Amino acid sequence: MTERRKVSFIGLGVMGGAIARHIAKAGHILTIYNRSPERTRRWEEDNPGLAHRIAANPAHAAQDADVVITCVGNDDDLADVVLGPNGVFRMLKKGGVFIDHTTVSARIARQISVEARDLQVHCIDAPMTGSQIGAEKGTLTLMCGGRKDAVEAARPVMEAYSSRIVHVGKSGSGQIAKMANQICIAGNVAALAEAVRFAQASHLDMDKVYEAISGGAAQSWQMDNRWKSMNEDRFDFGFAIDWMRKDLGLSLEEGRGLGVSLPVAALIDQFFAEVQAMGGGRLDTSAILKRLPRKGGK
């Protein structure tokens, strides 16, 4: 049986809210905090009785916690909730565990790890993949950067909402792995959009085309999960283009620092920018299809 721990979760968005629910249902003592009180209120209404405590700020959330987990927006958000005047590291105890699931730069992940080392806190950067569906089902994949002992200290809690936990390497490595993941996703969904429009323009039976090509080398998660919805012009499936552009921006910046050329990622980032300009920034990434008009401009 998993040891019951005091776990504080900061950031109750689409992914974070589902993760927090799994943590409480696994038997841990859950404290929650979100910068928007309205989101906290909605989470409580949807999950009555699961939260043991509602924190007033990140430092309050970390008070007496064994494990603190963050899932926020970007580098600045993470720096504020962890290193700010009312941040987690003001109160997290020696020997405590800090897990960050935000997709951020490797730079901020490394900075936080240095601060954690000085405080004698276990620290890992653990961005995730698996989509909103994976968060709801508790089947996420976590890419972990940090010391091996820190990953092992975090593992018993992370197992409540993930099916795969991979220790990639030192601090920041989890974020680098996530960047590689996003580069692959962007390429897959952009190619899939072109294939969908190509098949539509040829007036083929789209179900038959999918049946024919999905069992071979063209198969991908994007094809299996988005072929039908893209054909039907449905684009409300979680991970938004706005967020993908943020992630690709991190990848391109890291690539420049490494001296690595990422021409395909840079091009697809501009494709996503076109959809943003059309007002589609909050649609999911498969809405990249919208930049490719149907035959006849429909």
Please, which contacts does 152-155 make with residues 24 or more away whose CB atoms are closer than 8 Å? 153/97, 153/122, 154/67, 154/97, 154/99, 154/122, 154/124, 154/126
Per DSSP bridges, beta strands 29-33 and 53-54 are parallel
Indicate if the pLDDT at residue 290 is higher than 60.
Answer: yes
Mean pLDDT of 101-108: 97
- pLDDT at residue 297 in the model: 44
All structural domains of the chain: 6-170 (3.40.50.720), 176-297 (1.10.1040.10)
| Global pTM value | 0.92
pLDDT digits (tens, 9 = 90+) for 40-68: 999 999 999 999 999 999 999 999 999 99
Task: Work out the pLDDT band at 298, boundaries 50, 70, 90.
Answer: very low
Mean pLDDT of 60-78: 97
**49 CB contacts (<8 Å, ≥6 apart)?**
none
pLDDT digits (tens, 9 = 90+) for 220-257: 999 999 999 999 999 998 789 999 999 999 999 999 99
Indicate if the pLDDT at residue 217 is higher than 60.
Answer: yes
- pLDDT at residue 2 in the model: 66
- Tell me which residues are annotated as active site: 178
Mean pLDDT of 272-296: 94
- pLDDT at residue 132 in the model: 87
